[in-house]
Amino acid sequence: MKTTMVLVIAQLGLLLMIYLFGAQQPWLVLSAISLTAIVTYILLNRANKQQRQLFLALEHGLQSLRDNDFSVGINDDVASQSHRQLIDAFNQTSEKLRDERQHIYQREMLLDKVLNASPMVMVLVDQRGKIVLTNHAAQQTFNLTGAMIGRDWAQLVNALAIEFQNALASQGESIFSLIDQQGQQQAWHVACSTLTIHQATHHLYLLKTITQELSKQEVTTWKKVISVISHELNNSMAPISSMCHSGELLAKNLNEPRLNRVFSTISGRVNHLNEFIKGYASLTRVKEPKKSLISWPILIEQLQTLYQFELLSPLPTASVYADVAQIEQVLINILKNGHEADPQGNITLSFAAHPDYLGLEICDNGSGMSAEVIQNALLPFYSTKHSGTGVGLALCREIIDGHQGKLIFNNRSAGGLSVSVLLPY
Is 378:407 a contact under the CB 8 Å cutoff?
Answer: yes
CA-based nearest residue to 352, from 185, 182, 183, 186: 182
Task: Assess whether 410 and 312 both reside in one domain.
Answer: yes
**pLDDT digit string, tens, across residues 139-148:** 888 877 778 8
Is 92:108 a contact under the CB 8 Å cutoff?
Answer: no
The CATH number linked to 357 is 3.30.565.10
Task: Assess whether 259 and 171 both reside in one domain.
Answer: no
Longest CA pairwise span in the chain (Å): 167
3-state secondary structure of 323: coil
CA-based nearest residue to 219, from 229, 208, 227: 227
Per DSSP, 82 falls in state: G
Indicate whether 188 pLDDT > 60. Answer: yes
pLDDT in the model for residue 351:
94
Q: Give the type of residue at 376.
A: N
Top-ranked range on mean pLDDT: pick from 22-36, 222-236, 257-271: 257-271
* Angle at CA of residue 156, ends 134 and 162, nearest 5°: 115
Task: Assess whether 309 and 419 both reside in one domain.
Answer: yes
Number of domains forming the structure of the chain: 4
In the chain, the percentage of residues whose pLDDT exceeds 90 is: 10
- Does 113 fall in a domain? no
Look at residues 241, 261, 285 and tell me which one is the last residue of a structural domain: 285
Indicate whether 92 pLDDT > 70. Answer: yes
- Does 112 fall in a domain? no
CA-based nearest residue to 58, from 44, 69, 72: 72
Q: What is the DSSP string of 337-376?
A: HHHHH-TT---EEEEEE-SSEEEEEEE--S----HHHHHH
**pLDDT digit string, tens, across residues 148-179:** 888 898 888 888 878 778 888 777 787 777 76
Higher pLDDT, 111 or 220: 111
Average predicted confidence (pLDDT) for the chain: 78
3-state secondary structure of 416: coil
Task: Assess whether 70 and 128 both reside in one domain.
Answer: no
Look at residues 107, 127, 144 and tell me which one is the last residue of a structural domain: 107
- Does 204 fall in a domain? yes
- Does 199 fall in a domain? yes
Indicate whether 418 pLDDT > 70. Answer: yes
- Does 186 fall in a domain? yes
Look at residues 162, 187, 209 and tell me which one is the last residue of a structural domain: 209
Tell me how far apart the alpha carbons of residues 306 and 232 are, in angstroms, rounded to a whole number.
37
E strands within 167-296?
Answer: 172-179, 185-197, 200-209, 292-293
Task: Assess whether 234 and 268 both reside in one domain.
Answer: yes
Higher pLDDT, 268 or 306: 306
Residues 369-392 as b/e (b if ≥16 CB within 10 A, e otherwise) read: beeeebebbbebebbeeeeeebbb
Tell me how far apart the alpha carbons of residues 65 and 52 are, in angstroms, rounded to a whole number.
20
88-102, 266-280, 286-300, 308-322: the lowest-pLDDT one: 266-280
53-57, 274-278, 338-342: the lowest-pLDDT one: 274-278
What value does the mean pLDDT take over residues 240-261? 74
* Helical axes 2-21 vs 26-66, angle rounded to 10°: 170
Task: Assess whether 19 and 99 both reside in one domain.
Answer: yes
Indicate whether 362 pLDDT > 90. Answer: yes
In the chain, the percentage of residues whose pLDDT exceeds 70 is: 74
pLDDT in the model for residue 296:
92
Task: Assess whether 416 and 378 both reside in one domain.
Answer: yes
- Does 407 fall in a domain? yes
Tell me how far apart the alpha carbons of residues 25 and 34 are, in angstroms, rounded to a whole number.
15
Strand partners, 200: 197
Output the CA torsion sign for 378, 382, 383, 387: positive
pLDDT in the model for residue 350:
93
Is 296:392 a contact under the CB 8 Å cutoff?
Answer: no
Band of pLDDT at residue 282, cut at 50, 70 and 90: low
pLDDT in the model for residue 322:
92
- Does 20 fall in a domain? yes
Can you give the residue range of the structural domain that contains 170? 118-209
Band of pLDDT at residue 349, cut at 50, 70 and 90: very high
What value does the mean pLDDT take over residues 290-301? 91
What value does the mean pLDDT take over residues 366-388? 69
76-85, 348-357, 363-372: the lowest-pLDDT one: 76-85
- Does 88 fall in a domain? yes
